[in-house]
Amino acid sequence: MALHDDLIVQAKQLANRAPRHPRQASLRRAISTAYYALFHALVAEAVLILAPSTPSALRAWVGRTFVHGDMKKVCKGVGAGNPASVTGQLMSRPIDSRLAFVAKTFVDLQEERHKADYDTIASFSRADVMLKITDVEQALASIQAIRGNPNTHVFLVALLFHEIWTRR
Amino acid sequence: MLPEVKLINSVIKRHRFPSGVKTWSAEYGEDSTGDPAVWIWFHYKDDEGASQQNIHELSDFVHLIRDHLLEADIGRWPYVGYRNPVI
């Protein structure tokens, strides 16, 4: 089982603990875990097209160069249907709704993870956490469904290179 | 009322709320990456735990609101979700 599959299972377990009186700590960890499921799934897809399979550790090292904030910027553009810079030039229109959904889900989950991990005032509802987990599951399925599409390739590569392209 | 607030209100008022949702609130600010953002919270009471059917209805609703806010080009990223009602 891939890491992101394990993480989504774990997120559900956390969110379903004590359904009538869920603890905020469990809900917060569920959000964080769901975000990392999507993060690792996107990175895994991207490195498949960015780096060869040998030597065996190469893809893992390429995967470690992704920057959360840079990925979010790409996702905002793609999610809103107006990617900037080289990403925008390379993508054909209209952008597949499944790709846009993946991007919007990443933006949402990263922000929620930030709140879950750092904002001690925020109070999470179980319903919202379950929705976020469902969104991530749908996004993971969408990534598989649009694998190999040219816009998907641009998106995945842009997750790593968009900021460099923007500075040129 | 600021134009963006008016715009957001008008987008949200076009929709029928899912059952269990009575009120909503908005917070304006910058998100974790420093970009302008708005958080739209629909207050949903889920003491009994949301059913799978509810989850779908609630999910479709927030996606629709988010998409319509993005289309309306409000100049902020719309984060849309549910929170427990304010007691």
pLDDT confidence of residue B52: 67
pLDDT confidence of residue A163: 93
Give whole-number Cα distances, B65 to A91, B9, B22, in Å.
25, 11, 16
Q: B39: which residues sit within 8 A by CB, 6+ positions away? A: B26, B27, B29, B79, B80, B81
Mutation for testing the A interface, residue in B19, B21, B76, B82 having most A CBs under 10 Å: B82
pLDDT confidence of residue B41: 93
- The per-residue pLDDT for range A9-22, each reduced to its tens digit, is 999 999 999 878 89
pLDDT confidence of residue A31: 98
Query: Are B81 and A112 in contact (CB < 8 Å)?
Result: yes
Burial of B43 (0-12, 13-18, 19+ CB in 10 A): middle
Mean pLDDT of B72-86: 89
Mean pLDDT across chain A, nearest whole number? Answer: 96
CATH T-level topology, domain B3-83: Alpha-Beta Plaits (3.30.70)
Q: Please list every residue in chain B whose beta carbon sits closer than 8 Å to the beta carbon of residue A108.
A: 66, 79, 81
- The per-residue pLDDT for range A83-124, each reduced to its tens digit, is 999 999 999 999 999 999 999 999 999 999 999 999 999 889
**Residues of chain B contacting A, Cβ within 8 Å:** 31-33, 35, 37, 44, 46-50, 54-55, 58-59, 62, 66, 70, 77, 79, 81-84
pLDDT confidence of residue B2: 78
Helices vs. strands in chain B: H and E counts, helices first: 2, 3
Confidence of residue A125 (pLDDT cuts 50, 70, 90): confident
Mean pLDDT of B38-45: 91
Cβ-based contacts under 8 A for chains A and B: 62
pLDDT confidence of residue A168: 79
Residues A67/A141/A96/A111 CA torsion (nearest 10 deg): -40
Q: Tell me whether strands B36-44 and B77-83 are parallel, antiparallel or unpaired.
A: parallel
Query: Are A135 and B33 in contact (CB < 8 Å)?
Result: no
pTM: predicted TM-score of the whole model, two decimal places: 0.95
**Residue A22 DSSP label:** -
Least confident of A53-57, A115-119, B31-35, B80-84: B80-84
Q: Please list every residue in chain B whose beta carbon sits closer than 8 Å to the beta carbon of residue A20.
A: 47-49
Mutation for testing the B interface, residue in A32, A131, A137 having most B CBs under 10 Å: A131
- The per-residue pLDDT for range A58-89, each reduced to its tens digit, is 999 999 999 999 999 999 999 999 999 999 99
